[in-house]
C-alpha cells in the first residue's frame, strides 16, 4: 500500500469533518495499543478509570492517578477526551448511599455528595474534556416505568438526573453533557429515553446530547431500528454520540465456547454489519459528532469471557495483532 493510501486509511482521517473516532482505553491498553491508538483515533474514553468507584473510593479520598495518565496521553498526541461517567447505579461505592451509622443517607445529603463529586471531577478536567456522560443507564429496559430502580432514584427522587446535569454544567460550562444508555435502538426503550430527555429539555436542563452505547452484534439490532433511533433522538435537536460501539460475533443466547478463532463467515458478516452502521453514521453525520468504540482491537475486549466464561470475542475493526480486518476495509471504503 502506498504511503498516501495508508495515511488516508487512518480512521480519524477517513471521518475528518464528519465525526471524531474514539476508543475506550485502560492502563493496559494505553501501553499495549499505544501505536494503534495514536494512529487511528482522535478521541479516547476511560473504560473504567473515571467511574465513581475509581475516583472516590472513600468519601473525600480521590484517586486520579490513572485518569490523569490517560489525560497526559491524550495531550501528548492531541487527542480529545470523552468523560465517562458521573452518575450511575453501577461501579459506585456503597458509602455514597450510606449515612455512616448503618442507615441510608437522606436526599439532601446524597445530592450534596453528588455535587461535590461532580465539582471535583469535572472541575479538575475543566476545558480538557469535550463531553461528559453525566448520567448513565437510568432508564428501565422493560415494564411501565421510565426510570429503573436505583439508590439514586429511591433516595433523591427523579430529579437526581436534572441536578446532575446542572452541577456538571456549573463545573464546566464548556463541556457537552450527555445522557448515555444501552438498548438505545430497541423501540420500547428508545421511547423511554426520548421521553426522559424531552422532559429534561422542557425544563431547560443543560443537556446537549444523547449517547447511544451501541453494544451491538452480528444479529441485533436491525439497522432499521438503529435508523429510527437516530432520527428520533435527533428530532430533539441534540447532538448524538455513539459511545461504546462493539459488534459481538455471538447472538445474545448463543453460549457456545468451542471457537478458538472467529470463522470466515463471522468476519464477513461483521464487515457487512460495520459497513451498514458506518453508512448510517455518515448519512447522519450532521447529528453524530463522535463515534467511540468500546476498545480498539481484538486483543482486549470486555466481551472476552463475559457474559459466557471461557469464550473469547472479536468485536472490533482490528485483529489481536492490530492488523485491519475485513470490517476495517468495509468501514473506510464506505
Ligand atoms: C456499560 C457502561 C460501560 C461499561 C460497559 C461494560 O455499557 O456504560 O462503562 O461498563 O457497560 O464494559
Q: Does residue 179 line the site of ligand 1, with CB under 6 A? A: no
Give the sign of the dihedral formed by CA 48, CA 289, CA 195, CA 248: negative
CA–CA gap between residue 235 and residue 243 (Å, rounded) = 19
Q: At 61, is the secondary structure helix, strand, or coil?
A: strand
Q: Does residue 53 line the site of ligand 1, with CB under 6 A? A: no
User: For the purposes of burial, counting CB atoms within 10 Å of the CB of 239, is it exposed (0-12), middle (13-18) or buried (19 or more)?
Assistant: buried
Buried b vs exposed e over 114-126: b needs ≥16 C-beta within 10 Å? bbebbeebbebbe
CA 180 – ligand 1 centroid, Å: 10
In this structure, the residue with its CA closest to atom 4 of ligand 1 is 47
CA 185 – ligand 1 centroid, Å: 16
In this structure, the residue with its CA closest to atom 3 of ligand 1 is 47
**What percent of the chain is modeled with pLDDT above 90?**
92
Are 24 and 48 in contact, with CB atoms under 8 Å apart? no
Q: Which of 244, 261, 283, 286 is catalytic?
A: 244
SS3 letters for 192-260? HHHHHHHHHHHCCCCCCEEEECCEEECCCCCHHHHHHHHHHHHCCCCEEEEEEEEEECCCCCCCCCCCC
Q: Does residue 243 line the site of ligand 1, with CB under 6 A? A: no
Reported as a pLDDT band with limits 50, 70 and 90, residue 252 is confident
In this structure, the residue with its CA closest to atom 12 of ligand 1 is 302
The three cell numbers of residue 75 are 495531550
Closest to 334 in 3D by CA, of 274, 252, 287:
274
Q: Which of 47, 49, 137, 184 is catalytic?
A: 137
Closest to 325 in 3D by CA, of 299, 304, 307:
299
pLDDT at 4: 59
Q: Does residue 45 line the site of ligand 1, with CB under 6 A? A: no
Distances (CA, A) of 124 to 54, 197, 252: 15, 27, 39
The three cell numbers of residue 270 are 461483521
Q: Tens digit of pLDDT for each residue in 217-235? A: 999 999 999 999 999 999 9
Are 96 and 52 in contact, with CB atoms under 8 Å apart? yes
Q: Tens digit of pLDDT for each residue in 206-216? A: 999 999 999 99
Q: Which atom of ligand 1 is nearest to the CA of 48?
A: 9
In a mutational test of the pocket of ligand 1, which residue from 244, 246, 301, 305 has the highest number of ligand atoms less than 8 Å from its CB? 244
In a mutational test of the pocket of ligand 1, which residue from 50, 294, 303 has the highest number of ligand atoms less than 8 Å from its CB? 294
Q: Which atom of ligand 1 is nearest to the CA of 294?
A: 12
pLDDT at 1: 52
Q: Does residue 300 line the site of ligand 1, with CB under 6 A? A: no
Are 224 and 280 in contact, with CB atoms under 8 Å apart? no
Phi first, then psi, for residue 187 (nearest 5°) are: -50, -45
Residue whose C-alpha cell is 439532601: 108
Counts of helices then strands in the chain (DSSP H, E): 13, 9
Are 114 and 151 in contact, with CB atoms under 8 Å apart? no
In this structure, the residue with its CA closest to atom 2 of ligand 1 is 136
CA 114 – ligand 1 centroid, Å: 20
Reported as a pLDDT band with limits 50, 70 and 90, residue 305 is confident
- Across-strand partners of 246? 215
17: left (phi over 0), alpha (psi -120 to 50) or beta: left
Are 315 and 322 in contact, with CB atoms under 8 Å apart? no
CA–CA gap between residue 325 and residue 261 (Å, rounded) = 13
Q: At 81, is the secondary structure helix, strand, or coil?
A: strand
Reported as a pLDDT band with limits 50, 70 and 90, residue 258 is confident
The answer to whether residue 137 is catalytic is yes
- What does the pLDDT average to over 2-26? 87
pLDDT at 147: 98
Mean of the per-residue pLDDT values for the chain?
Answer: 96
Q: Which atom of ligand 1 is nearest to the CA of 84?
A: 9
The answer to whether residue 158 is catalytic is no
Amino acid at each position: 500500500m502506498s504511503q498516501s493510501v495508508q495515511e488516508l486509511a487512518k480512521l480519524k482521517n477517513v471521518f475528518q469533518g464528519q465525526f471524531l473516532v474514539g476508543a475506550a482505553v485502560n492502563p493496559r491498553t494505553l501501553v499495549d495499543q499505544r501505536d494503534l491508538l495514536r494512529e487511528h483515533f482522535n478521541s479516547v474514553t476511560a473504560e473504567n478509570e473515571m467511574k465513581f468507584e475509581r475516583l472516590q473510593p472513600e468519601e473525600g479520598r480521590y484517586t486520579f492517578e490513572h485518569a490523569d495518565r490517560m489525560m497526559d496521553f491524550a495531550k501528548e498526541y492531541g487527542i480529545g477526551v470523552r468523560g465517562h461517567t458521573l452518575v450511575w447505579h453501577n461501579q459506585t461505592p456503597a458509602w455514597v448511599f450510606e449515612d455512616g451509622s448503618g442507615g441510608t443517607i437522606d436526599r439532601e445529603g446524597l445530592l450534596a455528595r453528588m455535587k461535590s463529586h461532580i465539582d471535583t471531577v469535572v472541575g479538575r478536567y475543566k476545558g480538557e474534556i469535550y463531553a461528559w456522560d453525566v448520567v448513565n443507564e437510568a432508564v428501565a429496559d422493560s415494564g411501565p416505568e421510565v426510570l429503573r430502580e436505583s439508590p439514586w432514584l429511591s433516595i433523591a427522587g427523579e430529579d437526581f438526573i436534572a441536578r446532575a446535569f446542572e452541577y456538571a454544567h456549573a463545573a464546566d460550562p464548556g463541556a457537552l453533557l450527555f445522557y448515555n444508555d444501552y438498548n438505545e435502538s430497541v423501540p420500547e426503550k428508545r421511547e423511554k429515553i426520548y421521553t426522559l430527555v424531552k422532559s429534561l429539555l422542557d425544563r431547560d436542563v443543560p443537556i446537549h446530547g444523547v449517547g447511544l452505547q451501541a453494544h451491538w452484534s452480528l444479529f441485533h439490532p436491525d439497522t432499521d431500528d438503529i435508523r429510527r433511533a437516530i432520527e428520533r433522538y435527533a428530532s430533539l435537536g441534540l447532538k448524538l454520540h455513539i459511545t461504546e460501539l462493539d459488534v459481538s460475533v455471538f447472538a445474545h443466547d448463543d453460549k457456545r465456547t468451542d471457537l478458538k478463532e472467529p470463522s470466515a463467515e463471522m468476519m464477513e458478516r461483521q464487515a457487512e454489519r460495520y459497513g451498514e452502521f458506518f453508512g448510517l453514521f455518515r448519512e447522519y453525520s450532521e447529528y453524530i459528532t463522535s463515534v467511540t468504540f468500546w476498545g480498539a482491537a481484538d486483543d482486549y475486549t470486555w466481551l472476552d469471557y463475559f457474559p459466557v466464561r471461557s469464550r473469547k470475542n472479536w468485536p472490533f475493526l482490528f485483529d489481536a495483532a492490530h492488523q485491519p480486518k475485513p470490517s476495517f476495509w468495509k468501514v473506510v471504503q464506505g
